[in-house]
Amino acid sequence: MAITDDSVVPDYAGLIRLDGKSVVVLGAGQGIGRQATHAAAAVGARVACVDADIARAQSVADELGGCAFAADAMRAEEMESVLGQAARALGKIDALIDIIGMPRYVPIMEMSDADWDFQLDISLRQAFHALRAGGKLMRESGGGAMVFVSSISGIMGAPRHSAYGAAKAGLNSLIRSAATEMARYQIRVNGVAPGLIWTPRIAGSMQTDALAAAKKSIPLRRPGQPSEIASALLFMISDLSAYITGQTLVVDGGASVGFPINMGAGPGVSK
């Protein structure tokens, strides 16, 4: 017996659009942050660029007709202030993208308390500040979406990644808890966990032999591009992901899905 499906077919292309929406990007001055601002603007959003360096923020804002602000994201009062300024400049905040974070790769037995504190501050504390301040503003305006850049270091283990991985694992947990609390206000909270991404910082610091070794561990045999993370971030703040909250999407070229022990190439598997 045939079953007739007469359900409405959405305008899928339209669901990615952000026309009339206001987006704030934290860490917008370069790399993934710069690409994320362009991704949002390309589908109609008005964008506020926030960076620790006002010159970098202004440079990106000038590329797409946005507005620029500077703040130390690790200070709660500055986060509250800059998001308030952005909300007033844009009318409200419909979406917040937070890409702030910087690893310090130090062995546990050589790590100082300052190294540990820095990693948790820049990867986790600032995200808490953004969640709290951004959540209050979105609650007042009827909801929105927030997405945070995590890392596969928060899911997998690696030498010298202990502080960075612990902070990103904490961020993943924070995302889950925030999603359960904020859903009642129509606020979605998600994350994107990149693997090796060819940002300007990585491109300027990674040795050729280290890059060659890294490529061998990635099934797609290359590092990702900042634009590919920006694409995932855009998906998470658009209505294409309207039924997704509390999740962290891994975007790593397959690096975290392989068998951890090298068993050699099997049938149909290229070395």
**pLDDT tens-place string over residues 93-105:** 999 999 999 899 9
Please name the residue that has the structure tokens 């928060």: 154
Query: Do residues 32 and 225 make contact, with C-beta atoms less than 8 angstroms apart?
Result: no
Residue 126: which domain range? Answer: 19-251
Query: Do residues 105 and 150 make contact, with C-beta atoms less than 8 angstroms apart?
Result: no
> Reading across the β-sheet that carries 22-26, which strands appear in turn?
67-70, 46-51, 22-26, 95-98, 144-149, 187-194, 248-251
pLDDT in the model for residue 2: 73
Rounded CA-CA distance 12/17 in Å is 9
pLDDT in the model for residue 140: 97
Give the list of residues 6+ apart from residue 191 with CB closer than 8 angstroms, or none: 147, 148, 149, 150, 171, 172, 175, 247, 248, 249
Instruction: With respect to residue 231, please indicate whether it lies within any of the assigned structural domains.
Output: yes
Instruction: With respect to residue 263, please indicate whether it lies within any of the assigned structural domains.
Output: no
Instruction: With respect to residue 11, please indicate whether it lies within any of the assigned structural domains.
Output: no
Q: Out of 12, 105, 164, 185, pick the active-site residue.
A: 164
The pairing of strands 144-149 and 95-98 is parallel
CB atoms within 10 A of CB 16: 18
Query: Could you tell me the pTM of the whole model?
Result: 0.93
Which residues face 98 on adjacent strands? 26, 148
How buried is 26 (Cβ within 10 angstroms: 0-12 exposed, 13-18 middle, 19+ buried)?
buried
pLDDT in the model for residue 205: 80
**pLDDT tens-place string over residues 125-160:** 999 999 999 999 999 999 999 999 999 999 998 899
Q: What's the Rg (C-alpha) of the chain?
A: 19
Q: Into how many domains does the chain fold?
A: 1
Instruction: With respect to residue 262, please indicate whether it lies within any of the assigned structural domains.
Output: no
pLDDT in the model for residue 209: 82
Query: Do residues 201 and 155 make contact, with C-beta atoms less than 8 angstroms apart?
Result: no
Length of the chain: 271
Instruction: With respect to residue 258, please indicate whether it lies within any of the assigned structural domains.
Output: no
User: Considering only CA atoms, which of 149, 165, 139 is closest in space to residue 251?
Assistant: 149
Instruction: With respect to residue 8, please indicate whether it lies within any of the assigned structural domains.
Output: no
Domain CATH for 29: 3.40.50.720
Instruction: With respect to residue 264, please indicate whether it lies within any of the assigned structural domains.
Output: no
Active site residue 164: yes
Instruction: With respect to residue 265, please indicate whether it lies within any of the assigned structural domains.
Output: no
| pLDDT beneath 50: ranges in the chain | 267-271
pLDDT in the model for residue 262: 60
